Chains A and B, each alone.
Chain A
Amino acid sequence: MIAIIDYGMGNLRSVQKGFEKVGFDARIVTAKTDIEAAAGVVLPGVGAFSAAMKNLEEAGIVETIIDQIKAGKPFLGICLGLQMLFSYSEEGTVRTPGLDLFPGAVVRFTGDMKVPHMGWNQLLFRNRGEAADGIPDGSFFYFVHSFYVVPEDPTITMTMTNYGYDFVSSITKDNITAVQFHPEKSQRMGLKLLENFGRLAK
């Protein structure tokens, strides 16, 4: 079973339905024990970074998530679920600390481009984890975000995407895959990524 963590940051039905569509049992969960019992953990989330961190803390599952990741359980972060893995976010007036599993910042787009970065954009692969099987370089995925991650360790970058300039649109390291885009809204390529993750979590 794949556990999709519900901590009050957006509709998670599409993610669940996406996994079901490609043949995996996925459940929307809130309880610590359900997260621990799962074969794979998905941390989704849309909205404000600070609200997301606060909700995770209030749900009392910060340590659970970190423990599961450190224990090597397959983990997929989506959108805020990518951003929260980093040290801190510059969203809001003060820096909000993240889970700090990877050193690095979450910063806002600068320049003349429209923010949020919204729509279909391409993945340019730097590293190919197993989660990327069958997804050609240059594939389009659906993005909706105003902030992106800047990892201190460039080797964790899985893909870059160009929006005025290149930014890190996904990372991969060991059991962790985390993406800025929305696989559950990226049609067949998105489903392919969910399927790959589902296989890793078997």
Chain B
Amino acid sequence: MAKRIIPCLDVTEGRVVKGVNFVNLVDAGDPVEQALKYEQAEADELVFLDITASSDKRHIMLDVVRRTAETIFIPFTVGGGITDIATIRELLNAGADKISLNTAAVRTPDLINESSDMFGSQCIVVAIDAKWTDDHWIVYTHGGRRPMELDAVEWAREVEQRGAGEILLTSMDRDGTKIGYDNALNRAISTAVKIPVIASGGAGELSHLYDAIHDGLTDAVLVASLFHYGIYTIRQAKEYLRDRGVTVRL
């Protein structure tokens, strides 16, 4: 099995707000165009994080998903503000391969069971935002703004048992720092569950990707800003990993 490199695009009202400044883009704000560039750059999967504030503009994301599914030929996940089965069904029918749940999974854990029973574990990802507090990691919701009285390792075990197929694990301590992933967190969660864990938050160097896989024991790495300014390409990252004995798709 190949370890995966997964670029993440933040999208609001159908426009990319945090993505990559590729050259030769006709419209740098178009998520579909960015997705295509990433596919051509050998990304293994993609994540769209919909940060649209108002839910009455949700249909815009559906259109993005539909157009993306018709344009790229790698799997992609959609997350952000998804709270019910009807929305999950709509997004999957529009062509998303996986759905990522975060706040709604904490608020209504049965949503994990219901959605994985209905659509299969393989398409239900649970995103966990974790922050070191006192002597353990606790779960945050609402885009990392609200602390919960919930231990991240215990929550990871629970979401697996409820039917999640994958965990997207973001370290809030490291997010945006570029000093590397929180591999103590990654290891704690990866060894607590059997489902794949995607590391997120803190990548600033290619060595950080290797560390998340080798030390953090994760199956995939989510990257946002690492490829932002074209300093590294995904191919360079994959060659770097391959040269260190990691199986990657090249």
Contact = CB atoms under 8 A, between A and B. Distances in A.
A21 B73 contact: yes
Interface residues of A, number: 25
Contact of A142 (B75, B121, B165, B166): B75
Interface string A147-180: 0000000000000000100000000000000000
Nearest to B121: A116
A21 B71 CA distance: 9
B69 A118 contact: no
A110 interface: no
A119 B73 contact: no
A163 B247 CA distance: 13
Interface stretch (A10-18, A86-94, A97-105): A10-18
B136 interface: no
B39 interface: yes
B73 A121 contact: no
Given A121-B1, A163-B1, A140 B249 contact: yes
21 contacts: A11-B93, A11-B95, A13-B70, A13-B95, A14-B73, A18-B73, A47-B120, A114-B196, A116-B122, A118-B122, A118-B166, A119-B2, A119-B219, A120-B44, A140-B249, A142-B75, A185-B74, A185-B97, A186-B73, A186-B74, A191-B73
Interface of B: 1-2, 4, 39, 42, 44, 69-71, 73-75, 92-93, 95, 97, 120-122, 165-166, 194-196, 219, 249
Interface of A: 11, 13-14, 17-18, 21, 46-47, 114, 116, 118-121, 140, 142, 144, 163, 184-188, 190-191
